[in-house]
Structure 1
Amino acid sequence: MTTTPTILVVGATGTTGGRTVARLASAGHHVRAASRRARPVAGAEPVAFDWYDPATHAAALDGADRVYLVPPVGDSDPAATMVPFLRLARSMGVRRAVLLSSSAVPEGGPAVGTVHQALPGLIDQWAVLRPSWFMQNFTGDHAHGRSIRDDGVIRTATGNGRVGFVDAEDIAAVAARALTDERAPDTDLVLTGPETLSHDDIAAAVTEFTGRPVAHHRLSYEQMRDRLTAELPVEFAALLAGLDRGIAGGTEDRVTDTVQRVTGRPPHTFRSVLEREMRRDG
């Protein structure tokens, strides 16, 4: 086993993982960037990692004492894979784990909520990040972003519901602090942006910024579930459609001060993210 402490970032090429790697590397930390294809990531050591291939786990963990965990995408029971990995991590010397979850999934809830519940009993120092929906869903390679670019439409079952959308850069900033501060949070952290917005508000903001009309098409829960089932496992599609239905009922109509408390600065607004992301991509 190597002796140099390493921070392992699982999902290192993803929306929050890539940004977390960049922050840690720029601060001089030794980072191991884990992804299925072990893609090169600036300032980090690439390593092959697949949640469903246990043969990749020990090599990724070798020498690591802290890990950032992005659950396997589309898995309605990630605990089956993640809990054995966390047991292995502890046996190999990992002392701190930061888990990416969701504001919509409480401890003991479905999917990653079961990993959240197990984490404090598996790793001495820990944090669970529970961000609201990503602002980058509307600017990146998410279904909403593609639909905006291709059709000028955002399709949801959220109705008039409002969400405290959060910038992935703010999530990464909190993740980096949770991984490197002298004391681990040892709690869950609900992350939001500075305001709540409906999907009608999002459509209007994108329309104003791009000059191209974007509309919010309102679907029923059943329509949303069936649409998602074309791309995702049935159980996960039903879960996501159910989250939309929860938003319609007000479950995500909140803001928190977590980003400000942890990072010392306010979270970014949606308009500022539009300006940064879309001008960069354009």
Structure 2
Amino acid sequence: MSARPTGLLVTGGTGTTGSRITATLADRGLPVRAGSRRPAPGTRQVRFDWADPATHGPALDGVGAVYLVPPVGDAEPARLMLPFLERALRSGVRRFVLLSSSAIEEGDPGVGEVHGALRQLAPEWAVLRPSWFMQNFITSSHLHAESIRATGEIFTATGQGRVAFVDAADIADVAVHALLDALPHNAAHVITGPETLSYGDAAAVISEASGREVRHRPVPAAEFRARLVASGIPEDFARMLAAMDEGISRGAENRVDPAVRTITGREARRFLDFAAGHAGHWRA
């Protein structure tokens, strides 16, 4: 009888959470490969493209656990992810950790469908449902980071709604536990920071940290959607993001969950500390 596959595949391996997970697993000497559409030679990266099934088999060879990051900007990721899940199960993968969102419930269209499939089909699984990333305020490709640098403003359709912003490093640490813990989690984890803030509060914290005035400018959902589309986001995905902002305005994300402390044994990072550590990103 052949040994159980022990390798780990991190899809989205060069992304915000995937790169952190890959680095942690590599530092522990584990056989990890980072899936990327454009892998860099001489690294742990392997070619992986959700839309190209020919890349799936080689990426899964010898793998026993997979971190699943949905295809970026795709409002209907299940059409690509579910066939991959079935193929991974056939190849011997036992454990799956899915990156979802606190705004997406099991069974919802898209990633919610993948969540449901994992719970029903995977021997070992976890679904991570993080709140909004703190990194959205500093990642150059994100609308918030770009508008802060360009105009000193943050545009959202959230009104005065509050969010427990979470550091991607905390999400990655929870993911590493979900991939490696001896007992499978077989659960969905809502992952948040330790406090809720409105975008106006976040702007005030950024202003204090950077010494530059930053303001939150609430706009109607239709205007926010148009701004997303103008930034290059597909129309259907922009519509989904705008709807999530409207949910925040109604209080959908006004909650704090202790998952980071419960799973990792330490407190989640505060936005105040994050802003202090990244103040240079916002200075003119």
TM-score, normalised with respect to structure 1: 0.95
Instruction: State percent identity of aligned pairs.
Output: 52
- Residue in 2 aligned with 1:131? 130
Q: Distance in 2 between matches of 1:28 and 1:198?
A: 41
Deviation readout 1:54-96 (Å, 9 max, x if unpaired): 1100010001000001000111111100000011101111000
Report the equivalent of 1:75.
74
Q: Contact (CA 8 Å) 2:210, 2:282: kept in 1 or not?
A: no
C-alpha separation between the residues in 1 aligned to 2:121 and 2:160? 40
Q: Secondary structure at the match of 2:115?
A: helix
Question: What's the secondary structure of 1:130's corresponding residue?
Answer: strand
Partner secondary structure for residue 278 of structure 2: helix
Residue aligning to 2:163: 163
Mapping of residues 206-217 of structure 1, within 5 Å: 206-217=206-217
CA distance in 1, matches of 2:53, 2:252: 36
> Aligned residue for 1:218?
218
User: Is the contact between residue 2 and residue 62 of structure 1 (CA under 8 Å) also seen in structure 2?
Assistant: no
Please list, as runs of the form range in 1=range in 2, the aligned pairs for 1:148-187 lying within 5 A after superposition: 148-187=148-187
Alpha-carbon distance in 1 for matches of 2:94, 2:119: 11
In structure 2, the residue matched to 1:120 is 119
2:128 maps to 1:145 = no
User: Which residue pairs with 2:86 in the alignment?
Assistant: 87
Return the alpha-carbon distance in structure 1 between the equivalents of residues 217 and 110 of structure 2: 28
Residue number in structure 1 paired with 2:256: 255
Corresponding residue for residue 265 of structure 2: 264
> Counterparts in 2 of 1:44-55, with a 5 A limit?
45-55=44-54
CA distance in 1, matches of 2:246, 2:50: 30
Q: Is the 8 A contact 2:96 2:125 kept in 1?
A: yes
**What's the C-alpha RMSD, in Å, of the aligned pairs?**
1.9
CA contact (8 A) 2:149 2:282 kept: no
Q: Deviations over 1:141-170 (max 9, x none)?
A: 221111111211100000000001000000
Provide the rounded CA distance (Å) in 2 between the counterparts of 1:65 and 1:180.
11
State the partner residue of 1:100.
Answer: 99
**Distance in 2 separating the partners of 1:281 and 1:99:** 32
CA distance in 2, matches of 1:170, 1:23: 12
CA offset at residue 279 of structure 1? 5.2
SS in 2 for 1:82: helix
The count of aligned residue pairs is 280
Q: Give the secondary structure class of the aligned counterpart of 1:120.
A: helix
Q: Secondary structure at the match of 2:8?
A: strand
TM-superposed deviation, 1:246: 0.4
- Where in structure 2 are there 5+ consecutive unaligned residues? none
Alignment partners' CA distance in 1, 2:281 and 2:144: 18
Report the equivalent of 1:240.
Answer: 241
- Aligned partners of 1:216, 1:14: CA distance in 2, in Å? 27
Greater mean deviation of Cα atoms: 268-277 or 90-99: 268-277
Deviation of the 1:2 alpha carbon: 10
Distance 2:109 2:202 in 1: 28
Shift of 1:201: 0.6
In structure 2, give the amino acid aligned to 1:236: F
**Partner secondary structure for residue 126 of structure 2:** strand
Could you report, residue by residue, the CA deviation over 1:213-261 in whole angstroms, capped at 9, with x for unpaired residues? 1111111011112222222222111110000000000000000000000
Structure 1 counterpart SS, 2:228: helix
Residues 135 and 165 of structure 1 are in contact (CA less than 8 Å); yes or no, is this contact kept in structure 2?
Answer: yes
**Are 1:137 and 1:145, in contact at CA under 8 Å, matched by a contact in 2?**
yes
Shift of 1:109: 1.1
Q: Secondary structure at the match of 1:266?
A: coil
- Please state if 1:20 is matched with 2:39: no
Q: Distance in 1 between matches of 2:110 and 2:242?
A: 14
More moved, 22-31 vs 189-198: 22-31
* 1:36-47 mapped onto 2 (5 Å cutoff): 36-39=37-40, 45-47=44-46
